[in-house]
Amino acid sequence: MQNIRHDIMKRLESLAWKRSSPYCLDCKHTTILAPANVNKCGMCHSQNVTRVLPGVGVGPIEWIIKQFLLESPFDADAMFDEHLDGTKETVTVGNTTWTLSNMLKEAFPTAYHGLRFQFKSTMLKRGLIMRVDSELYWTDDIDDWLDRQQEATPSRNKFH
């Protein structure tokens, strides 16, 4: 996962470990790991162990983190439109009145896409947004979301 601040990535990993449980892919049980080896099922002693996120599915910690981010309602294109529309209420051209973002999209689509790309690049460089795969998220929103989740999440894993 690229462009995620180290501190936020650590918090996401910690939450993923707390919310998920070990799951053996061989015996298909949510299991307690063998105490001497965290990569071994405590029931069948298989080393084919991953994590289960209740109500969502089975996968490694990286997959669980992606599932958390899917829960988060952050829309990069809407961020840009809000930024544009916050600079001026409306634009009137002839008899038509538009928001700045809609006017640029309709009348100057190439300029709109270029400005949107530049906006995202600048925000990434400043650390205000983060890229996870092809999606962009506000850093502060993820940070706030993590604060709320960690307050409400009891640990499900006694060995981590």
**Per-domain residue ranges for the chain?**
6-72+139-152, 76-126
**CB-based contact 83:119 (threshold 8 Å):** yes
pTM score of the predicted model: 0.66
**CB neighbour list of residue 22: distance below 8 Å, 6 or more residues apart:** 30, 31, 32, 33, 41, 49, 50, 51, 52, 157, 159
Structure tokens at 149: 């989740």
Per-residue pLDDT of the chain (160 residues; tens, 9 = 90+): 556 778 888 999 999 988 888 888 888 877 676 555 567 787 888 888 888 998 889 999 889 988 888 766 567 778 888 888 887 778 888 898 889 899 899 989 999 999 999 988 888 888 888 877 777 788 888 888 888 887 776 555 544 4
Question: Smallest Cα–Cα separation from 68: which of 125, 3, 11?
Answer: 11
**CB-based contact 157:22 (threshold 8 Å):** yes
d(CA 160, CA 158): 6
**What pLDDT score does 115 carry?**
93
Element at 71 (helix H, strand E): helix 61-71
Angle of CA points 160, 158, 39, to nearest 5°: 55
**What pLDDT score does 159 carry?**
45
* Positive or negative torsion for Cα 155, 131, 105, 86: positive
Residue 129 β-bridge partners? 138
